[in-house]
Amino acid sequence: MTVLDQPAPAHETPLLDVKDLAQRYTLPRENLFKPAAHVRALNGVSAQVTAGKSLGVVGESGSGKSTFARLVMALERPTSGSVSLLGRDLNQMPPDELRRARRDFQMVFQDPYGSLDPRQTIARIVAEPLTALGRMDRAALRERVATVLRQVGLRDADMDKFPHEFSGGQRQRIAIARALITQPKLIVADEPVSALDVSVQAQVLNLMQDLQDEFGLSYILISHDLAVVDLLCDEIAVMYLGRIVEQGSPQDLFAHGAHPYTRALLEAVPRARAGGVRRRRGAQPIASQSTGSAGCPYASRCVLADQHCRDTAPALRPVGQAHLAACHYAEAVMALPPAVAESG
């Protein structure tokens, strides 16, 4: 299982170990006589993923999910903290060594239309991560591309086609094939099905699950859709304003959510009922990440918040076996019906 802020057992050395990850961006100056403002996209995020297990990261837009994915992929250097894969700190590697290390971790992007070069054939697109690692016999490379295309349900004949000849679901299968070409141990998938129709989403998610079962892959799945992470992930981390506010198994979070924000996310999922689909309450504005606060960042949206919440930020602490929450009143939240978890 994935564990946050807790060491893995000796027999479960983590595949990925993220420690105290923070990322701060400087905003353009609005006034020459005032210092530039900053956005704190991540604030001390820690996570571990063991081989063959998957971590889901959920939250609203602006919660820091995609920033976390980019830092795990070493596409950006963090302001502070570390990202280690197989015991190697990715941000301390020389460029050549990091390029070779990318064999072990690949990414699937959100947009199946924008992530594939329309001028390249499918063979060249899928082979790109492998060719970036060094020279390879052309015939062997082509056979490897054909193999991974078959693994994602496409045909050998598709190699010489172009992206515009495929549907959205097929393009995402191509993107997954490109991630599989190096035989990675970890795949980071940033909203991999959000741009697809619902029926196609199920096909892609089932494919990802089958590939995990066959090859022992680990996923970090970034999503705003709780049903998606419930299907694929062993552990879920809920993010709000660059912090992990709750972490646990899908069963714990869905049945015994211990943070008001988790409850609010669950309440936002439309449910069919007699008389039609339940209406969503008006969305509460997400707080600014450019203004600091000594207290809980969720206090302005929480009906349980008191002066203690506004003055003191809660630590991520155990509220059950392998279940963590950053709330002073987590035990009280676990006893609440979901309807009162967030002010309307």
Residues 6+ apart with CB under 8 A from 19: 46, 81, 82, 84
Length of the chain: 344
Q: What is the mean pLDDT of residues 326-336?
A: 92
Task: Output the six-digit token pair for 110.
Answer: 């959100």
Place of tokens 């082979």: 127
Distance CA 51, CA 85 (A): 11
Percentage of the residues of the chain whose pLDDT score is greater than 90? 67
Task: Say what the pLDDT of residue 137 is.
Answer: 87
Does position 10 have pLDDT exceeding 70, yes or no? no
Task: Output the six-digit token pair for 190.
Answer: 């940033």
Task: Say what the pLDDT of residue 287 is.
Answer: 52
Determine the 3-state secondary structure of 258 from DSSP.
Answer: coil
Tell me which of 7-21, 50-64, 294-308 is least confident.
Answer: 7-21
Any idea what the Cα angle at residue 227 is, between residues 225 and 232, rounded to 5°? 105
Sketch the domain layout of the chain as residue ranges: 1-27+39-248, 258-273+290-344
- Which phi and psi (to 5°) does residue 155 adopt? -110, 160
Q: What is the pLDDT of residues 83-109, one digit of tens each?
A: 999 999 999 999 999 999 999 999 999
Q: What is the pLDDT of residues 113-152, one digit of tens each?
A: 888 999 999 999 999 999 888 777 889 999 999 999 999 9
DSSP 3: B
Average pLDDT in the chain: 87
Residues 6+ apart with CB under 8 A from 162: 118, 119, 120, 121, 122
Distance CA 122, CA 160 (A): 6
Q: What is the pLDDT of residues 162-201, one digit of tens each?
A: 999 999 999 999 999 999 999 999 999 999 998 888 888 9
Q: What is the pLDDT of residues 269-326, one digit of tens each?
A: 765 444 443 333 444 444 555 555 689 999 999 989 999 999 999 999 999 999 999 9
Percentage of the residues of the chain whose pLDDT score is greater than 70? 87
Homologous superfamily of 1-27+39-248: P-loop containing nucleotide triphosphate hydrolases (3.40.50.300)
The answer to whether the Cα torsion of 17, 206, 227, 116 is positive or negative is positive
Q: What is the mean pLDDT of residues 4-27?
A: 76
The pTM of the full predicted model, rounded to 2 decimals, is 0.86
